[in-house]
Amino acid sequence: GNVYLSREVRKWVRELAGTVTLGDFATVDELRDELICQLFHAVVGASRLPLASVETPMVPFSFGELFYCYRPAAGAGGGSLSTYRELIDGMLAPPTTTPERGRLLETLLHATPFADMADAAGHFGERFAEQDLAALLRTVFNEVSLSPYTDLVDKTLAFVRALEMRGDLSLATAADFLGYLLRQNGRHLTAYDLVTFHHRGANYPDALLLDAVLKDYLARIEHCPDLFADRPDGDTASRAVTRRRRRALRQGYLLRRRYENHAVPDLPTSPGENTRVLPASHPRVPDEQLTQPKCRTKRLFAGDPLSDYLTPNTAVVLRQSVADLEHSDELRELGMALFLDRPFGDRKAPAEPDATLLLSCAAFSRSVADERLRFLAQSLGLLTPEECEVHRRRLRELEIKGLPLDAVGNPPRPGVIALSDARRAAPDFVFLHTTAATLRDLFEQFDFTQLQDRFNPYNVARQKLLLARAANGTSLILYDGEMRPLLEVAVDTRLGYRRRAGREYPVAGLKQVNEKFPIAVLQ
């Protein structure tokens, strides 16, 4: 019948992970350092936002079977490591960087069986102070790619409990780490929801993370309710801490209930992920489930309503978290989101891998906050109709200083993550500030010292700055906290791009629009 029947053959494909130009390095030590970085990123992925294949972690890394870290003390005959104890002992040498330690901990969690988690936590925890451990746990989840979705989250929760049992993490520090995950994940899902983004909900590991962490959080509230309650003799600072912990519960509970029974594929995946060779535990999902939501038969959290996990203690804290909406910052949090932006690679070719700076920006939508107030009242019964109307009126009167969407331009090439993606989430998003962590990355890469008369680029902790594309999309504007333009720059691409230590940058740096001097790259 003029039809050729064939079957698909799946095989490994060799990829170019990076290129080294010898003339770019003045010394052998610099060359060695670059080789170390390129090998490291070839294994763990070239970007914390993996869009292209080379930016994605290797499958053996995602399942705890492969890790790379330079070990100068091991010598030429050092060989590989094969147990979690060897991993801890062999890769915590002083030259190890923070990203390497974060990926090391991720590998340790992947590779350690649940039965040995207590021993691994003890061996690992005795090498770190409590605050260093908490910071390292946050680093893991700031850099991790949760797709393919493995048992990493469950193992992390077991690891944290083991650290608590040993006394390496206090109950409060552990609760604050989990609260941080809930708050950050909540802002992420507000920006990139499972209806419009994530391939219209086909890739839903963030929802699974939310579910697992929230259930653990509820168990902690049940056993240690005092951590989440205001003390009668507490000062302003201590009340701010407990209110922040309750905020994590409210935002997590709201989103978890919002996504109950949402149609999803059999497994969380994306079109690119679905073509990879994964273990038998992750079979290939039928393509129609990715592209056609009506073909999905699985329902998220079906038969597992979150209301079943509420106890008298947790219900009290949840009600208090809703009562906290009397505070303006808690009311604002209902509409807060965290959008990502990669504004320095605009001149690269379409679909070309982009490892330039990834910035994140806090934004607020009044319509999203209003919808959530109505959801709390009408669907969850946590607000009375009268209380809901009072908060909606306060929300309309809430003063927000931000940059509106119509002042932000679109990226000039398709497929680039940008602040303008917020238009797909809600039309009234306003951008408040670029996050302090990514501002530090910006000022570490480019030399802004000549502009210190306008702002202090090296004291990002005490100032709110926003970097966004101009409305015409051809330049970038830096705004202060009052949304007054401080500086307009353009990416100088005359000399192309260069990659160094896993980060890509325009060789010629930036150029200030209508000014005489350039902004060079710090090397």
Which tens digit of pLDDT belongs to each residue from 324-354?
A: 999 999 999 999 999 999 999 988 888 788 8
Average pLDDT, the chain: 91
Please tell me the predicted confidence (pLDDT) of residue 346.
Answer: 84
Residue of 316, 214, 319, 324 lying closest to 259 (CA atoms): 214
Q: Quote the tokens at residue 131.
A: 């605050």
pLDDT band at 109 (very low <50, low <70, confident <90, very high): very high
Phi–psi pair at 4, nearest 5 degrees: -95, 125
* pLDDT at position 5 over 70: yes
Indicate the DSSP class of residue 488: E
Q: How are beta strands 503-506 and 497-500 bridged, if at all?
A: antiparallel
DSSP single-letter state for residue 423? H
Query: Percent of the chain at pLDDT above 70?
Result: 96
The residue that leads in pLDDT, 211 or 85, is 211
Model confidence, pTM: 0.93
Residue 319: strand, helix, or coil: helix
Helix (H, G, I), strand (E, B) or coil at 437: helix
Alpha-carbon distances of 368 from 119, 351, 397, 464, rounded to whole Å: 45, 32, 15, 23
**pLDDT confidence bin for 517, thresholds 50/70/90:** low
Residue 76 clears pLDDT 60, i.e. is over it: no
What are the DSSP calls for 441-457, one per residue? HHHHHB--GGGTTT--T
Model confidence band, residue 93 (pLDDT cutoffs 50, 70, 90): low
Percent of the chain with pLDDT over 90: 67
Give the pairing type, strands 466-469 and 430-434: unpaired
**Are 345 and 196 within 8 A, CB to CB?**
no
pLDDT (average), residues 275-292: 91
Say whether pLDDT at 84 is over 70. yes
Question: φ, ψ for residue 435 (rounded to 5)?
Answer: -65, 150
Q: Residue 315 corresponds to which tokens in the numbers above?
A: 């219900």
Residues with Cβ < 8 Å from 257, sequence gap 6 or more? 306, 379, 380
Q: What is the mean pLDDT of residues 95-101?
A: 78
Residue 57's contacts (CB-CB under 8 Å, 6 or more residues apart) are 43, 44, 45, 50, 145
- Crossing angle of helices 98-111 and 28-44, rounded to 10°: 40
Torsion sign, CA atoms 279, 282, 284, 287:
negative
Q: Which residue has the tokens 């060695």?
A: 32
DSSP H or E segment with residue 431: strand 430-434
Band the pLDDT of 77: cuts 50, 70, 90: low
Pairing of strands 359-364, 403-404: unpaired
**33's tokens:** 């350092």
Q: CA-CA distance, 11 to 276, in Å (whole number)?
A: 9
Contacts of 470 (CB under 8 A, 6+ apart): 409, 476, 477, 488
Q: How far apart are CA 334 and CA 366, in angstroms?
A: 9
- Beta-bridged to residue 506, according to DSSP, are 497
What φ, ψ does residue 292 adopt, rounded to 5°?
Answer: -130, 95
